[in-house]
Amino acid sequence: MPRTPIPGVQNLIAVGSGKGGVGKTTVAVNLAISLARSGRKVGLMDADVYGPNVPLMMGVRATPHAIGERIQPIEKHGVRIMSMGFLNPGDKPLVWRGPMLHSVIQQFLRNVDWGESDYLIIDLPPGTGDVQLTLIQTAPLTGSIVVTTPSDVSLEDARKAIHMFQQVRVPILGLVENMSYLICPHCNERIDVFSYGGGKQTAETMNVHFLGELPLDPSVRIGGDSGKPVALGDSPGFTALAHEVERRAAEVSGAKRPVVEIED
């Protein structure tokens, strides 16, 4: 299947992980906002079709409309967004099989009017399954970001995600260690809740770039739950991450890479 470019989209970046709940959506949302705040044109595609959390974290409920054949994304916090959560709001689960999933991912990529975008950030569901492969096989990804916590179980799954991207020749922009440590709000002592440093170590061992660490910070969770992500304010961690991501995206898009097909 060809990885046809998406007209107008300069950089297509997927945020993935092996494990669930490590902060992919949090990273995707705050990264998108940080980039938008620094003047970039940014889209955010929620590829977690079964468990779309982007609308809640971005604090937006809306129904997209189409102009002609083109679905118009919903804009919030300076970011253009598309999510299954707009099309299937509420708590009813989608009960879909593979082909439907494949088709909705294609529609989100190709039939949404992303306009001129410097970055289109894609929030992946956890794991290395169907959605990830569909996307990677068909989308001209500039690169991927792998999110992990420092715990061994998360790192084990992050290694799988790194291998998946490597197998299908998607450049890895780098590994982010999320929930690296907690600064106790009462005594200021640092607590390594999920251990510490495994992200950097794994990045080194696997020869991928380390994009940095993000502390476990209650305001990050509150920002996500209230639809006002921390990156809307001063957030040194996400500002630094956005900077690194921009640098790496420029680096890899300058590098030639072979396009390979993978077997179904």
Ligand X SMILES: Nc1ncnc2c1ncn2[C@@H]1O[C@H](COP(=O)(O)OP(=O)(O)OP(=O)(O)O)[C@@H](O)[C@H]1O
- Chain residues that interact with Mg ion, rule: CB under 5 A: 24-25, 53
Number of Cβ within 10 Å of residue 145's Cβ equals 30
**How far apart, in whole angstroms, are the C-alpha atoms of residue 223 and residue 58?**
9
> Which region, judged by CB under 6 A, interacts with ligand X, from 21-29, 39-47, 113-121, 164-172?
21-29
Q: Does 148 bind ligand X (CB under 6 A)?
A: no
Token pair for 81: 């967004």
Residue in 95, 71, 66 with CA at minimum distance from that of residue 82 = 71
Shortest gap between Cβ of 161 and ligand X (angstroms)? 11
Size of the site for ligand X (CB under 6 A): 21
Which residue in 8, 10, 51, 133 binds ligand X (CB under 6 A)? 51
Q: Does 144 bind ligand X (CB under 6 A)?
A: no
Q: Does 179 bind ligand X (CB under 6 A)?
A: yes
Give buried/exposed letters for 69-83 (b at 16+ CB in 10 A, else e): eebebbebbebbbbb
Shortest gap between Cβ of 52 and ligand X (angstroms)? 9
**How far apart, in whole angstroms, are the C-alpha atoms of residue 236 and residue 43?**
22
Shortest gap between Cβ of 163 and ligand X (angstroms)? 18
Q: Does 22 bind ligand X (CB under 6 A)?
A: yes
**48-to-38, 44, 135, 181 alpha-carbon distances in Å:** 26, 12, 12, 27
Nearer to Mg ion, 19 or 37 (CB): 19
Per-residue mark of binding to ligand X, 190-219 (x: CB under 6 A): ------------------------x-xx--
If you count DSSP H runs as helices and E runs as strands, how many of each does the chain have, helices first? 9, 11
Which residue in 5, 20, 98, 197 binds ligand X (CB under 6 A)? 20
Q: Residues 75 to 114: which contact ligand X by CB under 6 A?
A: none
Shortest gap between Cβ of 99 and ligand X (angstroms)? 22
Shortest gap between Cβ of 48 and Mg ion (angstroms)? 5
